[in-house]
Chain A
Amino acid sequence: MKRQTSRILSSLTSAARQGLPDGCGLIGLCLLSGGTAAQQGARQSTLQPASTQAQSIELLWWIMLWAGVAIFLAVMALLAWALWHGRHRESPLGLTASKNFVLLAGVAIPALVLVILVGGSLLLGRSIASTPPPDAIQVRVTGWMWWWEIEYLDSAGNVTATTANEMHVPVDRPVAIELVSGDVIHSFWVPQLQGKTDMVPGKVNSSWFVATEAGQYRGQCAEFCGLQHALMAFVVVARPEAEFNAWLAHQAEPAPTPTTDAAQQGLEVFEQSCGQCHRVRGTRAVGVIGPDLTHLASRRTLAAATLTNNQGHLAGWIGDPQRVKPGNKMPRTLLSPQDMNNLLAYLGTLE
């Protein structure tokens, strides 16, 4: 039902969108062109919801926007009339008229509007914030300066798979997220799926959503967390449940043993130079300071969704992480070209 109405409303508004020029300023209508920039590639817009939760918030937004536009125009019209009216001859409002005017426009009408708004958003808020259904997938997300650790939990709360900066979820099934922080406050936000919830040290917060459409959605840290707060993003991949299960089973496995010489040597380089910070399950690299890299090659992005994951970017990142993301906590590692090549070959095997 609710979905239905939201569909209707958003198709109405997108029709309205088409008829309006961009950036028409002042009055509030400009917001209606909401989609345009976002349609051209970025996938981080609250106005393109892909979950039940984000859809209902979007609906709330359109209702509030229209109500706001109406109130604003009404007040401006009153003001204009008030000014226009007396331009030739003084004709001020009488005392009683003024009193009635203020009581009606300044108290009664706003009170009514506000009661509706408060009531509506409380109901909606309750449904969004309620506890997730018991069949939800359990994920724990930990915010670190400036990347995301993502752990899948089984029903007993044990970690089954660990990854970073990329979260996969099944479509049409609730996902419950446990939010914690490893250092300072971060905030978990995937605009197309759910509003944000902070990750506060010493506290375990939670959030949940049901993705309704398969696709890739970008999330970004929304609480200022220091130097690289700007480049602390991640990707959520929503896919049919069967695909998701296969992915999860694969992520749970340790890394494959390298088969080529180059990769074998690369593994040694990795264990030597990177292992104190990174973990690749099944090897002697067991660091916990940086992201788990067991299935690095299967990921879409590098450095918290800053770069697309390809060999060039990977080489650039390892060669000088501080140039890509100045101030981040991964130091530059000096490697001979030979070692670098082997390392890249090895990392390439981490499917």
Chain B
Amino acid sequence: MHKSPTYDQTPEATAPLSQTWQSPPGFVSWFTHVNQRQIGYRFVVTSLIFFALAGVLALIMRLQLIAPENTLLGADFYNQLFTMHGTTMMFFFAVPAMEGLGIYLVPLMIGTRDMSFPRLNAFGYYVYLIAGVSLFVALFLGMAPAAGWFSYVPLANIAFSPGKGMDFWTSMITFIEISALAAAVELIVTILKQRAPGMTLNRMPLFVWSILVMSFMILFAMPTVMAGSVLLALDRAFDMQFFVASGGGDPLLWQHLFWFFGHPEVYIIMVPALGIISTVIATFTRKPVFGYTALVLALVATGFVSFGLWVHHMFTTGLPHLGLSFFTAAGAMIAIPSGVQVFCWIASLWGTRIRFATPMLFVLGFFAIFIIGGLTGVMVASIPFDTQVHDSYFVVAHLHYVLIGGAVFPFFAGLYYWYPKMTGRLMSERLGKWSFALIFIGTNLTFFPMHQLGLEGMPRRIYTYLEGMGWGDLNFAITLAAFVLAAGFLLTLINAVISRTRGAEAGDNPWQADTLEWAATSPPQNYNFRHLPVVNSRHPLWDEADLTRRQYVKGLRADRRELLVTTLLEAQPQSVLIMPGPSIWPFLLALVVGFGFLGFMFQPLLFVVGFALSFFAITGWLWPRKPWISTKEN
């Protein structure tokens, strides 16, 4: 373990660089930080807080459903709960969590010092924070939206949802998409232009590939829901007629706009998770995963095909059957890239000596749970069957299996796996294994019986059901199981908190992994790498285990933030980018934009004020400092 680095990493030697890349201490300065690790970390932690909040909402829902005709919660509150649960889990937990991991890890994995647009990065975080906090404030004020996470019109329109709840929803959804889009652009540019010299596309770690695919999907999917929610906001605020049948509009237009985004959304969540799985499997089998090219192609194919599936959420809306059939076929087609990936991983695991550490356990759990969810997905892709189970608990079962199996399990695997890199300490294996066991058992006990409830005719989104329906026993069991599941998550939370101070020292590369982030210290220094690495293979840390043979970049200045720009395909050095430092403007811009969006709900003119103010903030942000041309430049 105690191999020496080949270059001087002592504090004296790195002080100037560290100084340059430092995030200033202090409370006010906290809002000026722009380094990718700070921002990525904040994304991850914040998303976990939203996960816990949404999870607790789910537990309260479960308490209401524990018995028939239960009167614990009123209908209105229950409706707010599942809307907030779904919205938070999808928009404020799953997507930002994956983005956060990407933001934290991608620059480390590709051997650079920061993202391309650090201030935009910070801006994206504040936008996310403001949107999430506003929604929860609305919940505590009892004005949360209550039309479900896909807010079908006309129910969500002003005539049937007159309160402020839906306004919060439309504004904050638009807002959170701004954050996601900022992150996506940034990740794409960073991945395409800042890879370490020699890291051709073909040598890029699979996790980076998955983040790249996710970002492109965000780029093409999120604008539609933004457009949709803006149109809905206009319908609500100005009595426009986009979704009003009597004015020539069409309620189904909303469904098309929403699901054109909504379906890719679920793969946006899953694609990075698949990257985590490949990473963890490679590390814990100590050999490259089989089928790098096949896995990359499968990711890309999933990305493409997912844009042709949206109508499978609308099988019962009365669209012509022939047209719908196309979407059954597309739904089946997407099972093939999933199958390819699953079997590539099985081939990789075949006959290897595996270390069954917690991350690996979560990956194995993923297999069982995700495949059940995938198979029920293929079932509901069949139109006749879907007409029976659509909007029933069968779909609730499907969506939790795929989301928990396909996103939460891999995310937790990633959390256990990268925690030592982020904090410098290992998480407790013992607590980790207990947590895994509880989560695995809890997930199955909670969500498996929902298939049966669905087949027995229990619709989703009902705050109560009659005694005579015979759904009581299973619901009782489900509610108990949900608490087992929650206990499992709680253990990981405890584990993370305790290990922060008490965990074993991790060292730079505790798992003996192959990718570049493990070449940095744990936690990484302000500047990530003292000398940017040069890469000659897909698995730099394995192929160049002999440290003296590693190659580096020299010539970047230590007295200002510089990093290397390389060519798109071959990653040849191209130029040097001078990065901006800490700044308060991104925070201020997020504030004024937030003011515009929130103000719009009460007085549309305030939006114009926000728009005007944001112009000043942007100018302040971008205004270059004198002297403009430094004579020392070359």
Contact = CB atoms under 8 A, between A and B. Distances in A.
Question: Which of B160, B252, B350, B384 has most A Cβ within 10 Å?
Answer: B384
A108 to B, nearest CB: 10
Contacts of B372: 28, 72
B342 interface: yes
Contact of B321 (A38, A82, A114, A126): A126
B304 interface: no
A56 B383 CA distance: 13
A184 to B, nearest CB: 4
Contacts of B318: 179, 197-198, 200, 203, 205-206
A91 interface: yes
Given A26-B448, A75-B371, A230-B75, A198 B316 contact: yes
B112 interface: no
Given A106-B339, A124-B384, A184-B154, A82 B346 contact: yes
Given A184-B155, A195-B388, A224-B155, A37 B456 contact: yes
A196 B316 contact: yes
B116 to A, nearest CB: 36
Give the size category of B's interface with A: 35 or more
Nearest to A24: B448
A223 B315 CA distance: 13
A312 interface: no
Given A42-B468, A98-B350, A202-B251, A117 B368 contact: no
Interface string A28-56: 10110110011111101111000000101
Given A72-B372, A107-B340, A229-B461, A42 B471 contact: yes
A235 to B, nearest CB: 12
Interface in A79-111: 79, 82-83, 85-87, 90-93, 95, 98-99, 101-102, 105-107, 110-111
B468 A201 contact: no
A200 B255 CA distance: 12
B152 interface: yes
B74 interface: yes
B76 A227 contact: yes
Contact of B349 (A79, A106, A118): A79
A229 to B, nearest CB: 6
Interface stretch (A8-16, A57-65, A157-165, A268-276): A57-65
A57 B384 contact: yes
B444 A105 contact: no
Contact of A118 (B328, B364, B449): B328
A231 B464 CA distance: 8
Contact of A98 (B290, B329, B382): B290
Contacts of B379: 61, 64, 68
A327 B352 CA distance: 61
Given A102-B340, A197-B318, A56 B353 contact: no
A39 to B, nearest CB: 8
B448 A86 contact: no
B255 to A, nearest CB: 9
Given A90-B351, A202-B250, A230 B245 contact: no
Contact of B457 (A42, A203, A326): A42
Interface string B159-181: 01000000000000000000000
B188 to A, nearest CB: 29
B287 A92 contact: yes
A205 B160 CA distance: 22
A327 B75 contact: yes
Nearest to A123: B384
Contacts of B328: 118, 121-122, 125
B383 A125 contact: yes
Given A196-B390, A201-B251, A230-B463, A42 B456 contact: yes
27 contacts: A31-B455, A34-B455, A41-B469, A45-B455, A45-B457, A47-B456, A82-B349, A82-B351, A83-B364, A85-B350, A86-B354, A92-B351, A93-B347, A93-B351, A102-B343, A105-B339, A107-B340, A110-B336, A115-B332, A121-B383, A125-B321, A125-B325, A125-B328, A189-B459, A222-B459, A230-B463, A231-B464
Top-7 shortest CB links A-B: A195-B387, A202-B245, A44-B457, A205-B318, A230-B462, A106-B343, A121-B382
Given A118-B382, A196-B391, A200-B252, 8 more contacts: A64-B379, A79-B349, A95-B290, A102-B347, A124-B384, A129-B383, A189-B457, A326-B74
